[in-house]
Structure formats: structure tokens, C-alpha cells
Amino acid sequence: MTTSELEATAEAYRSFAHVHTRAHSPAYERVSAAVAESPELLDRLLALPPIKRQPNLLLAAVRYLGGPSASGEAFLAWTLEHWARVRAVMLARATQTNEAGRCATLLPLLAALPQPLALIEVGASAGLCLYPDRYRYRYDRASTFGADGSPVTLDCATTGPVPFPGELPRVASRAGVDLSPLDPAAPDDARWLESLVWPGQQQRLDRLRAALSVARAEPEPARIVRGDLNAVVAELVAAAPAGATPVVFHSAVLTYLPLEARQAFTAAVRELPCRWISNEAPGVLPEVDARLSQAAPTDRGVFVLSLDGEPQAFTGPHGERLDWFPPHLTLG
Ligand SMILES: C[S@@+](CC[C@H](N)C(=O)[O-])C[C@H]1O[C@@H](n2cnc3c(N)ncnc32)[C@H](O)[C@@H]1O
């Protein structure tokens, strides 16, 4: 272990506390700040592979096992005492937060493309973002629109010239790839997904449960293959039905890949006969960030939403915000 690794891990927990969870989960703000200052727990984290040291994974593993998150002290004591079990869950599972709410930020782009769509999500988790036409939407607390009778309503606050969709996209096919696809009908997978929702976010938990029920009820569920996105994306595009627009999209996924694998993916997707929607944190795709005309906020978590590599908006990481850049592109 090096001092810089120790400091980088502590900093990841500090930033998770002060930037990402501060406005959303006071319990996780306290807990992650405590982890950042605990040499004992940082030591244990540093014995894990780098990808397994993330705050979301540790916190979800403790939650999955029934550990406390009310105070930093209680969290640290419990986690150190039960470390062997926490470690085993962290090694067996991955951060697979599946947030249907992100469909509210993807929808304006999806609806503006030539219809119908062949949706292809890379890093799909349980595939809940593959059902944008099965949800209802409420932008800026106005009236809702979307799928009649849906148990899921996605709220999203906006700024800027959002090209609000007049209609839902028409979906001809739903496909995806994930290293470890989760099954919406499997109780243990649903429990893991619930553990990934931050404490105090009852609305997100309700939304997750409702979106899982939508996926379970779907007559033709999304086909999600197990594999690495770089190995599979071309064959998924090739399998899109004739007459549909293949749309490769991803949110909160490429951050888990090393830079070379991200670069290989973006080079490949630009050459494929498809449209490409990316919704990732700043820094994940430097070539997209280089085209931003304004700096990303640093005081809160945001993603950069882009179409075919061209930035369109900053989005809230769970779909809660959509800040469109002026002027928006003519799509088609
Ligand atoms: C944080 S989740 C996001 C899920 C979904 N995109 C969403 O926005 O709700 C990231 C997903 O990417 C998957 N993933 C990470 N690296 C991958 C890779 N190289 N190939 C395929 N899937 C990958 C993970 O297994 C996980 O399910």
C-alpha cells in the first residue's frame, strides 16, 4: 500500500460525503466522512482490488448485511467487527445501482431520434433504463405524461432549452449487456439493488420497487447478455431489427472501466451504424468533456449527457435534474 493510495481512498470517501451525498443522505454523509478518517477501515479497503474500494460498494454491503448507518461511530464499529462478511459481499457483488429515474434525462434525446428505436444499453444492471416508454414523467412539477397506468412517475427539475418530448419514444427492441446482469424477478438481486439506495431516500426505494415490477410484468423483457461491453456491443448493434434506429446508451458505467477500455469503446461506437447517448460523470470521457462550453459544477454530483459525443446537458446522477445547454442541437 502507498501513501498516495491511502490518501486517494480517503479522498474518495470525503468527496462522497461532502459532494455526492450531502444534499441527499445525511446518514451516508456522516458515515462516509467517518470512513475517510478511519485508518483501520482504510487499511482493510486498501487490501481489496482498487475497483472494490468504492464508497457505494462498502456502504451497500453493510446495508445488505443489516449493519447500522445512523452514525459514523456505529458504522465503523460494526463494519470492523464483521469485516470478513462485509469483504465477502464486496468481492462477490459490484456497484450496480439501477436507477430508472435516469430515463427522465435520457428521454428528450430518445424521443427526438428517428423512431422506432432499438435500445441497446451497455452496463444495464437489471435493465430498468430499457423501459423509458413504460414510465410516466413529470418535469418541473408540471402535469405528468407517459405510459397510462404506469406505477412509476419520474420527477425531474430542469433549466435551459430542454427539447421536451411531445410523445414517448417507440421501442422496437430492448437489449443490453452487463458483466453480471441482475434479474428483476430474483429476490436476492432485488435486495442487493435496494441495498444500493442510500438511507433516507424512500422515494428512490419506492421507485426502484415499482420499476422492478414493470420489468417483471413486461411481456417481452429486455434481453441482457452477460459479458464485457467492448466484446459485445457490435453484435448487439448488428442484431437490431431492420427499420429501427439502433441507440447504444450508458449511464454511470464507463467510470468502472480503465481509460484504455473507455477509449476502445468510444472509438468502436463511433464507427458502428448507431446513435450513441452517454450519461457519465465529468472526467470519464475526456474527449466529450473537451467539447463542453462550460465547466462542470464541483459542489454537487453531475453527469454529462451527450449525443454522438456532443455534450447536451448536465444531469443529476439519479435523474433528478436536467440542465440543458443553450442552444440545443438540431436532432434527426
Ligand atoms: C452503476 S450501474 C448503472 C446501471 C444502469 N446503467 C443505470 O444507469 O441504472 C453500472 C453497471 O455497469 C456494469 N458494468 C461495469 N463494467 C462493465 C463492463 N466492462 N461491461 C459490461 N458491464 C459493465 C456493472 O455490472 C453495473 O451493472
- Of the residues 73, 92, 111, which one is the last residue of a structural domain? 92
User: Is ligand 1 within 6 A of the CB of residue 97?
Assistant: yes
Whose cell is 422506432? That residue is 116
pLDDT at 328: 47
Query: Is residue 177 lining ligand 1, measured as CB closer than 6 Å?
Result: yes
Indicate the residue among 59, 92, 125 that finishes a domain. Answer: 92
Q: Residues near 143 by Cβ (< 8 Å), separated by ≥ 6?
A: none
Do residues 289 and 196 share a domain? yes
My answer on whether 200 and 253 are in the same domain is yes
What percent of the chain stands above pLDDT 70?
A: 98
Q: Which amino acid is at 16?
A: F
Q: What is the pLDDT of residue 9?
A: 94
The answer to whether position 303 is within a domain reads yes
**pLDDT value of residue 239:** 98
Nearest CA to ligand 1 atom 2: 96
Identify the residue whose C-alpha is closest to ligand 1 atom 13: 123
At residue 2, the pLDDT reads 72
* Residue that finishes a domain, picked among 75, 92, 109: 92
Residues 182 and 271 in one domain: yes
What integer is the mean pLDDT of 11-38?
90
What are residue 82's phi and psi, to 5 degrees? -105, 25
- How many domains in the chain? 2
Q: What's the confidence (pLDDT) of residue 101?
A: 98
Task: DSSP for 72-109, please give it.
Answer: HHHHHHHHHHTHHHHHHHHHH-------GGGHHHHHHH
Write the DSSP symbol of residue 116: S
Cα separation, 113 vs 135, whole angstroms:
18
Residue 191: count other Cβ atoms within 10 Å of its Cβ: 11
Is residue 279 lining ligand 1, measured as CB closer than 6 Å? no
Q: What is the DSSP string of 276-320?
A: EEEEE-TTS-HHHHTT-SSPPPSSS--EEEEETTEEEEEE-TTSS
Same domain, 151 and 299: yes
Whether residue 118 sits in one domain with residue 85: no
Residues 15, 127, single domain; the answer is no
238: amino acid identity, one letter: A
Give 130's pLDDT tier (boundaries 50, 70, 90). Answer: very high
Q: What is the reported pLDDT for 332?
A: 47
pLDDT mean over 106-132: 98
Q: Assess whether the C-beta atom of 257 lies below 6 angstroms from ligand 1.
A: yes
251 lines ligand 1 (CB under 6 A): yes
Q: Which structural domain range is residue 73 located in?
A: 3-92
If you count them, how many residues does the chain have?
Answer: 332
117 lies in the same domain as 29: no
**Residue 143 CA to ligand 1 centre (angstroms):** 32
What's the pLDDT tens digit per position in 177-200? 999 999 999 999 999 999 999 998
| Per-residue pLDDT at 171 | 98
pLDDT at 225 over 70: yes
Any ligand 1 atom below 6 A from CB of 233 = no
In a domain, 330, yes or no: no
Distance 179 CA to ligand 1 centre (A): 7
What integer pLDDT is reported at residue 300 of this predicted model? Answer: 86
Identify whether residues 84 and 221 lie together within a single domain: no
Q: Are residues 134 and 250 in the same domain?
A: yes
pLDDT in tens, 73-83: 999 999 999 99
Give the tens place of pLDDT for each residue, 246-288.
999 999 999 999 999 999 999 999 999 999 999 999 999 999 9
Q: Give the strand pairing for 136-139 and 153-159.
A: parallel
Q: Mean per-residue pLDDT for 24-37?
A: 92
Q: Read off the pLDDT of each residue in 223-244 and give the average, rounded to a whole number.
A: 98
Q: Is the CB of 105 under 6 A from ligand 1?
A: no
pLDDT (0 to 100) of residue 298: 86
Residue 332 lies in a domain: no
- Cis amide leading into 116 (omega within 30): yes
Nearest C-alpha neighbor of 291 from the set 325, 267, 260: 325
Q: Is 318 in the pocket of ligand 1 (CB under 6 A)?
A: no
CATH code assigned at 158 = 3.40.50
Q: Are residues 38 and 116 in the same domain?
A: no
One domain for residues 170 and 296: yes
Res. 1 pLDDT band, cuts 50 70 90: low
Nearest CA to ligand 1 atom 23: 123
Chain-wide mean pLDDT for the chain?
95
- Ligand 1 contacts CB of residue 236 (under 6 A): no
What number is the average pLDDT over the span 16-22? 85
Question: Which is the closest atom of ligand 1 to the Cα of 177?
Answer: 21
Rounded to an integer, what distance in angstroms lies between the CA atom of residue 48 and that of residue 297?
31
> Cα of 279 to ligand 1 centre, how many Å?
12
pLDDT at 21: 84
